[in-house]
DNA sequence: GTACATAATATTGTATACAATATAAGTGAA
DNA sequence: TTCACTTATATTGTATACAATATTATGTAC
């Protein structure tokens, strides 16, 4: 099989999943939004079978809630759950940076630095949704570098949920300092300084939590608007 | 709706999932076993739709591996992955007992003690497969008591995978001392002694790892034999 | 107009049918 | 035999059809 064919070949179920995932993470689909199956079939051009597959997967990643006979909705973590999520991230990511300090190669550092730059360029363009998504990708890459598959798996869901939390509860600007924090974190990891890296990570995650107030409720969005670019 | 109807009403997709899950966790389905979809439909009396739903869910819990166009197989973690899993459990369960120490009620202690007793009775009857499953349920209940949903979610998969690891790599007797360890752990949690509880948990998980050698390969099993009690 | 019951519609749940791919069986030549 | 190649079979991937449930609309009594 040619490389071009490999690149062209689109994996239908993954595509539907990715589109939905991106739609949610980029904040085009607000927490609580109902995800109607037939609407999604026409938007993505696949049958309900694949839509339901994607929705189930998103549910198991805790990004979507499915209520029996009622349908799927973009998850809207309660304040209590939100704090549980941030605590879980704290625990896992501290362990992750510890491992990353031991295993990070120069190639890894380059890639992580590149991701920081991409995040910053999104911030410079005022595209905070993209910046938020890229920030999550940086954290996930750190877990990949750490070389622990279960941590990667758990963090994938937790990071996505954190994006939802920030969408719902953060009163802006709270994560504008993210760039510096990511850079400081990477510097510590790159130097293999576990003590410093853990401190940076704890500080960074603390900032995210501090930027939320957990008293206001979220606004919804509608499906067609979120995927208007497709039709 | 009557209570009896509620109890009778079986949730078909959950049933298929549970049967498979139990089959794997109780070691009737050995790691690596192929899970043929049509065979499962006749065994469970539901259509491939629900079988595939169950398999996908098990895949996302890392208990089953699905290879595109090749089918589903009971997961068989490599020695390297096995160690990553045990490390992840170590990290998360230490945090769990910490929380459990703060939140454990007398009712929780009773329930946990009951689960220890059930595990012990399985050991007394020589049913190590059931004992192993009950041991996992004890650990999961501890996470529920701790009140952190993401930890529960992550541990559900990790504990299941640990069962597979023990099936594949443990040279017996290694977890015979589990009862005492669980009891000591519960005592510490019940007393709210975080220091002691963490130490017990670390010791307990260390024992599991120490009981494995990671050099031998697993044996397979066939489907019809594993579910012979159904037909 | 409100409240309730009933019918019409829409949406999800499950099973089946068809398509695509992989596996196994057969066939012939070296 | 063994290898390659072709054909047949089995298995998975996807779409559709039908069933069950929920939501909305309609009508009627008060």
Residue B22 CB contacts under 8 Å (≥ 6 apart), including other chains: B133
Report the CATH number of the A3-76+217-226 domain: 1.10.10.10
pLDDT for A215 beyond 90: no
> What is the C-alpha R_g of chain B?
18
What is the architecture, at CATH level 2, of domain B3-77+217-226? Answer: Orthogonal Bundle (1.10)
Contact B104, B189 (CB under 8 A): yes
| Separation CA A114–CA B177 (nearest Å) | 50
**pLDDT given for residue A179 in this prediction:** 64
Contact B185, B204 (CB under 8 A): yes
**pLDDT given for residue A220 in this prediction:** 47
B178-216 pLDDT, tens digit per residue, is 668 999 999 999 999 999 999 999 999 999 999 898 886
Residue position matching structure tokens 């980029």:
A26
Contact B12, B46 (CB under 8 A): yes
Does the distance separating the beta carbons of A157 and B153 come in below 8 Å?
yes
| Separation CA B219–CA A155 (nearest Å) | 32
Which ranges in chain A belong to alpha helices (H)?
A: 3-8, 12-25, 37-44, 48-60, 79-103, 106-124, 128-146, 149-169, 178-191, 194-210, 223-226
SS3 content of chain B, % helix, strand, coil (to 5): 70, 5, 25
Q: Which residues 142-161 in chain B show a CB within 8 A of chain A?
A: 147-151, 153-154, 157-158, 161
**pLDDT given for residue B223 in this prediction:** 58
Name every chain A residue with its beta carbon within 8 A of the beta carbon of B81. 149
**Which chain C positions come under 7 Å from a protein C-beta?**
11-17, 21-23
Per-residue pLDDT band for A163 (boundaries 50, 70, 90) equals very high
Q: Which residues 23-82 in chain B show a CB within 8 A of chain A?
A: 53, 56-57, 60-62, 81
Minimum CA–CA partner of A52 in chain B: B53
**pLDDT given for residue A8 in this prediction:** 55
Per-residue pLDDT band for A226 (boundaries 50, 70, 90) equals low
- Find the Å distance, CA of residue B65 to C1' of nucleotide D3: 33
Which of A60, A88, A154 is closest, CB to CB, to B57?
Answer: A60
Nearest partner of A102 among A142, A159, A153, judged by Cα? A142
**pLDDT given for residue A12 in this prediction:** 82
Contact B146, B99 (CB under 8 A): yes
pLDDT-flagged residues of chain B (< 50): 1-7, 220
Q: Which residues 102-121 in chain A show a CB within 8 A of chain B?
A: none
> Which letter does DSSP use for residue B200 in this model?
H
Contact B114, B122 (CB under 8 A): no
A60-85 pLDDT, tens digit per residue, is 999 999 999 999 999 999 999 999 99
Footprint of strand D on the protein (CB under 7 A): A 11-13, 46-50, 69-70; B 34-38, 48-49, 52, 66, 68-72
Q: Dig out the tokens for B139 from the structure.
A: 């650990």
Contact B75, B63 (CB under 8 A): yes
Does the distance separating the beta carbons of A149 and B81 come in below 8 Å?
yes
> Which letter does DSSP use for residue B211 in this model?
T
CB of A187 within 8 Å of a chain B CB? The answer is: no
CB of A88 within 8 Å of a chain B CB? The answer is: yes
Q: Calculate mean pLDDT across residues A167-195.
A: 84
> Which letter does DSSP use for residue B34 in this model?
E
Does the distance separating the beta carbons of B60 and A60 come in below 8 Å?
yes
Q: Dig out the tokens for A226 from the structure.
A: 């979120």
Q: Dig out the tokens for A70 from the structure.
A: 């009622």
**pLDDT given for residue B1 in this prediction:** 37
**pLDDT given for residue A176 in this prediction:** 54
**pLDDT given for residue A111 in this prediction:** 97
Q: Can you spell out the DSSP letters for B37-94?
A: HHHHHHHHTS-HHHHHHHHHHHHHTTSEEEETTTEEEE----HHHHHHHHHHHHHHHH
Residue B1: burial class (beta carbons within 10 Å; 0-12, 13-18, 19+): exposed
The fraction of chain A above a pLDDT of 70, given in percent, is 86
Q: Can you spell out the DSSP letters for A128-143?
A: HHHHHHHHHHHHHHHH
Nearest partner of A143 among A107, A94, A182, judged by Cα? A94
Better pLDDT: A167 or A143: A143
**pLDDT given for residue B11 in this prediction:** 86
Report the CATH number of the A79-210 domain: 1.20.120.530
Largest CA distance in chain A: 55
Where exactly are the structural domains of chain B?
3-77+217-226, 79-210
């Amino acid at each position: 099989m040619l490389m071009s064919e490999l690149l062209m070949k689109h994996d239908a179920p993954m595509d539907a999943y990715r589109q939905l995932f991106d739609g949610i993470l980029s904040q085009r689909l607000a927490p609580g939004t109902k995800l109607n199956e037939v609407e999604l079939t026409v938007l993505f051009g696949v049958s309900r079978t694949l839509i339901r597959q994607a929705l189930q997967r998103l549910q198991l990643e805790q990004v979507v809630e499915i209520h029996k006979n009622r349908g799927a909705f973009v998850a809207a973590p309660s304040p209590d759950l939100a704090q549980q999520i941030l605590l879980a991230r704290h625990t896992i990511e501290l362990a992750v940076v510890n491992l990353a300090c031991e295993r990070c190669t120069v190639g890894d550092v380059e890639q992580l630095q590149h991701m920081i730059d991409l995040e910053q360029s999104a911030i410079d363009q005022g595209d905070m949704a993209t910046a938020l998504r890229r920030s999550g990708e940086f954290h996930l890459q750190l877990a990949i570098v750490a070389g622990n598959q279960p941590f990667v798996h758990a963090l994938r869901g937790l990071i996505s949920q954190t994006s939802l939390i920030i969408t719902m509860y953060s009163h802006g600007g709270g994560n504008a300092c993210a760039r510096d924090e990511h850079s400081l974190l990477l510097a510590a990891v790159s130097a293999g300084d576990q003590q410093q890296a853990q401190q940076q990570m704890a500080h960074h995650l603390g900032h995210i939590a501090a930027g939320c107030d957990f008293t206001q409720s979220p606004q919804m969005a509608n499906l067609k608007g979120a995927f208007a670019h497709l039709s």
